[in-house]
Amino acid sequence: QLVESGGGSAQPGGSLTLSCAASGITRDYYGIGWFHQAPGKERVGVGCFSIGDGSSYYADSVKGRFTIFRDNAKNTVYLQMNNLRPEDTAVYYCAADLSSYKCSVVGDFLYKFWGQGTEVTVSS
């Protein structure tokens, strides 16, 4: 089960941090991906975190602005979003890929378990 929290509103240039708390996953390695879906657009990958080696991957659109990290004690993966832009406005989802050691968000077909989504609005 994945439970997201932390969405809300921010001004351009502002910051928000989303969290994705995972429960019931007993594998030593899996991927947690972050995706967003803007109104009227397809869902696209933002980045992901590989639990097995602690590495992260980011889409070009968010490199240098977003950071994904994990709190092992809380079994929670975070998406820290800095320097937000209006085009970051979307519903954000976290998802679990239990089949891969190294995560990827080139496509979402490997992600079988999804959070409920949390809305992020960036406007002045």
For 57-97, what is each residue's pLDDT tens digit?
999 999 999 999 999 999 999 999 999 999 999 999 999 99
Q: Considering Cα of 98, then 103, then 105, then 106, what sign does the dihedral take?
A: negative
The answer to whether residue 24 scores a pLDDT higher than 90 is: no
Under the banding of pLDDT at 50, 70 and 90, the label for residue 26 is: confident
Under the banding of pLDDT at 50, 70 and 90, the label for residue 106 is: confident
Q: Provide the terminal-to-terminal Cα distance of the chain, rounded to the nearest Å.
A: 35
| Token output for 28 | 């030593």
